[in-house]
Structure formats: C-alpha cells, structure tokens
Amino acid sequence: MKKIFSVAVIGLGAMGMGAAKSCIAAGLDTYGVDLNQTYLDALKAMGAKAVATRAVDFAKELDAVLLLVVNANQVNAVLFGENGLAKHLNKGTAVMISSTISAQDAKDISHKLTGLGLIVLDAPVSGGAAKAAQGEMTVMASGSAEAFEKLKPVLDAVAGKVYNIGEEIGLGATVKIIHQLLAGVHIAAGAEAMALAARAGIPLDLMYDVVTNAAGNSWMFENRMKHVVDGDYTPLSMVDIFVKDLGLVSDTAKSLRFPLHLASTAYSMFTEASNAGYGKEDDSAVIKIFSGIELPKKGGN
C-alpha cells in the first residue's frame, strides 16, 4: 500500500492555518506545529494527523516541511536552534521556506539544509488568510527541479498559482520583497486617502464604496480599508509585519544602490504606527498616525 504524503506545517498563524487546512483537504497526512495551544487544538479538530509545539516528535514521518513562521530568526530557530528540526529529518526531505525573508537569509539557510542532505524550495507566498484557507495562495518559488517535483503535493494543495522564478535560491525571496513594496505602499496610500476623507468630513463607508467601484481601487485598499470602515483592527497581518517587510525592501534597495521614495515613506509610516503602540494591531491601523481626525469605532459606537 502506497504511503500517504506527509507534511508538517510550522507556524499556524493566518496563512499557516489556512495552508494546513488545505493540506488536510487535499488528503495529505498533515502535522501542525505552533507554540499556541489554541491553534494546535483547532487544527487537530480539522483532521490533522498530529499536532505539537515542536516538529522533532514526528520528524522521521515527514516527506516535507512547510515553514510559515514570521521571520528569518524564527526559521533559523526552528531548523537549527536548540533541538532544531533539520538534523532530525530524513535525508531527501523537502523543506519549503515560505516566510518573507531576505535573499541572503534564504541562501544561507538553504546552504545549511543542503549540507544535511535536504531539498530546499525558496517559496514565499501571498494571498491573505482567505486565499490560504481556500488553497489558492500565490507561490513565488525558486529552487531545483527536484524541489518542485518533491513538493508538488504541497504546492497542489496550497496554491492557486505557482511561479517558477528560477533555480537560484533567493530569487523567490526577492520577488516577494518587491511584491511587499507594493503591498505596503498600497496600504499606506489607502490609509492616507481615508484619513483625508475623514478630515474633509466625508463618511468613510461612502468613500470606501466610491473607491472600490472606481479606478483608484486596489486589492489592498479593498481588503484593508474595510477594517478601517468597520473600526476593527483585529490583526490578520500586523503593523509590525510591514515594519519588517518594508525594512527588507529598504535593505534590498540599499544592496542594489537603488532609491525607493514611496517605500521609504511607507516604512516611516508603519514604524511611526508601531512606535505609537499599534504594532500588534492590523496593518490598516497605520491610519492611526494621522491626528485631528475621528475614525469609526467597532460596532458603530
């Protein structure tokens, strides 16, 4: 009897939980790993094979690992920290790194993993929690043909679109960073527009309706400014995530000696919001840096 393909999803936040759910729906033996017991219990109830606060417990069962933790420090801690996972995996296990990290970090991590006989795909993702839950994420990946082939069951489960950026590790990370430039600038620009509307006394639900039916709309405006209209800053993606991601954009630009005027301003806006205490709120909370305006409250109060 053929063994069912098994994958551990490490990091069960908004994207990771959706990806894990999609793997279960695709019939993969899915293991969930997170430090949050509530997330683990939720995934177990969805049909996960097993859940734990560390993946070492079932490392030998795995064909693949999908990493959706926050940053490079967390990727390194999971793989190479105390009781790190990498040395416990069977040789030939595929590791799909889907966290947003720098190209250099992707290369460094890949070098260590391949040295242990593991297969690596530099594969950042986009699409938000809803697309992740539907198995419709966009994956921008670079790596060997072997990595793409080995991870095909996972890619089929979680992705609506898979872009093969090339064989060189770091290319996927670079494409994601350029994408995050746009995403961050769009949120910041949307917040600025809605703040101006508030200052001018235009009802924000009306302004939102106009923009989402006109040429100035963007996916980010439509998705994030709805949170502002609802007065609901429950985090799906936090302000601090864009402090990190736009920091990566800035570092990439510096390494290429390339000026990024709008991205630099957006980075300053998100950093200001974080310093003002909004770092753990939804990234649309960047609008709170504007003074002299009244924003909608949750529940219309």
Q: How far apart are the first and last CA of the chain?
A: 60
Measuring CA to CA, which residue among 99, 98, 78, 75 is closest to residue 88?
A: 78
Which candidate in 21, 131, 176, 288 is catalytic? 176
Question: Which tokens in the block code for residue 234?
Answer: 């429950």
Is 280 a catalytic site residue? no
Measuring CA to CA, which residue among 183, 177, 182, 173 is closest to residue 142?
A: 173
Q: What is the DSSP string of the chain?
A: -PPPPEEEEE--SHHHHHHHHHHHHTT-EEEEE-S-HHHHHHHHHHT-SEEES-GGGGGGG-SEEEE--SSHHHHHHHHHSTT-SGGGSPTT-EEEE-S---HHHHHHHHHHHHHTT-EEEE--EESHHHHHHHT-EEEEEEE-HHHHHHTHHHHHHHEEEEEEEESSTTHHHHHHHHHHHHHHHHHHHHHHHHHHHHHTT--HHHHHHHHHTSTT--HHHHHHHHHHHHT----SSBHHHHHHHHHHHHHHHHHTT---HHHHHHHHHHHHHIIIIITTSBGGGGGGG--S--PPPGGG-
**Beta strand 64-67 pairing with 94-97:** parallel
Catalytic residue positions? 176
